[in-house]
Amino acid sequence: MKKEEILKVVRSNEGTVLSFPDRGPWGNNRYRGNCSGYIHAFLIDQYNVDFMAEMYAGGGTGYDICKDMQVKYVGADLNPIPVRPNICVCNALTDEIPEEFSEADFVFQHMPYPEIGIKYAGSEYTDPEGKLKTQDIGQMKFKEGMVANNKVTMKLYNSMHPGAKMGILCGNVRRKGKYHDMMLSLALPGEIIQNIVKMQHHCVSDGRTYAKKNFVPIVHENLIILQKPFEKTFYVGYMLPREYQIDIRNSVSATWRDVFRYVLYNIGGKAHYKEIAEAVKGYKKSEKNNNVEAKARQTLRQYTKTFTPLGNGYYKLVA
């Protein structure tokens, strides 16, 4: 496809929402998880890319579009038999990032989506000994897969030269009724310079019908653009999301009403105020209160829309 024709399509999109219903003629369109080659073209045009490196090169879309856009390309993939030239065989979790990546001015990764059941090793390419599937992020559980994705992101970032940019295309996963947001689980090194919404088209789920659709269908992915700073330093700045858990009885910011509501819920929804108070004693919430029983009685009486008195000091949660 001619570069001028590609740019005409790419430049028809303005702003931070990209929509390319036609994925273009590049790569193997039967290779699951392929993104539109117009995404690569958009990045090349927008950021004046002369040399693009791509992790998870997969079906060869990146190689093909870079050839048409007349920019240098190197890719890497777990597939032991790459589908295009200039794609290195690389286990991103255990191997060194190919040296050529350090020369690129833009590194792109459409990272694998864990938990969704797309099998690359053993499906898109052969895995006779069954070893590659253990390194296939798409076959991992969500948390394990995102830890692996973040490890690769940091390895890629460390291999980049100062001033180089990285594009991360990721989405959201709904599996067995549970929703996972990849972007909220990303390690983000360097400086974030753009967050772009990329609309999804022609997904397998588009043809499905649901008897009870008590959710909003996922129709977009996120494209995050990062840049490695020019300044000389040994320090690598990055943001890494973490999950926290705290017993609400140890939370000093929680109100007494909410603490007692949690207590009642967890002990069956009905209890004496002394039993409710006893469940809080010894925790941080009660450290500065000398009479937790009096506080429980006061709170249970005050919030009549939350607690119903049953008499003789007993209360239950309002249904």
Cα–Cα distance measured from residue 89 to residue 276, given in angstroms and rounded to the nearest whole number: 61
Q: What pLDDT, in 10s, does the model give residues 199-233?
A: 987 655 555 555 566 777 888 899 999 999 998 88
pLDDT in tens, 218-272: 888 999 999 999 988 888 989 888 888 999 999 989 999 999 999 999 999 999 9
Burial code (b: 16+ CB inside 10 Å, e: under 16) for 128-156 equals: eeeebbebbbbbbebeebbebbbebbebb
Residue with tokens 């002369």: 50
- Render pLDDT for 58-72 as a digit per residue (tens, 0 to 9): 899 999 999 999 999
Q: How confident is the model at residue 173 (pLDDT cuts 50, 70, 90)?
A: confident
Percent of the chain scoring above 90 in pLDDT: 70
User: What per-residue confidence (pLDDT) applies to 37?
Assistant: 94
Strand 165-170 to 188-189 pairing: unpaired
Cα 32 vs. chain centroid, distance in angstroms?
Answer: 19
Report the C-alpha gap between 294 and 239 in whole angstroms.
44
pLDDT band at 292 (very low <50, low <70, confident <90, very high): very high
**What pLDDT is recorded for position 178?**
85
Q: Is residue 46 over pLDDT 70?
A: yes
Whole-model pTM: value is 0.84
Residues 6+ apart with CB under 8 A from 203: none
Poorest-pLDDT segment among 85-89, 133-137, 201-205, 314-318: 201-205
User: How do residues 106-162 score in pLDDT, each as one tens digit?
Assistant: 999 999 999 876 777 777 777 777 788 888 888 899 999 999 999 999 999 999 999
Take residue 192 and report the two structure tokens written for it.
């974030």
Tell me what pLDDT residue 5 has.
96
Question: Which structure tokens are listed for 248?
Answer: 């609400």
pLDDT tops 90 at residue 191: yes
Average pLDDT, the chain: 91
Rounded-to-integer distance, Cα 144 and Cα 147, Å: 5
Q: Is the pLDDT of residue 34 over 80?
A: no
End-to-end CA distance of the chain: 64
Q: Domains in the chain and their CATH numbers?
A: 3-239 (3.40.50.150), 248-317 (1.10.10)
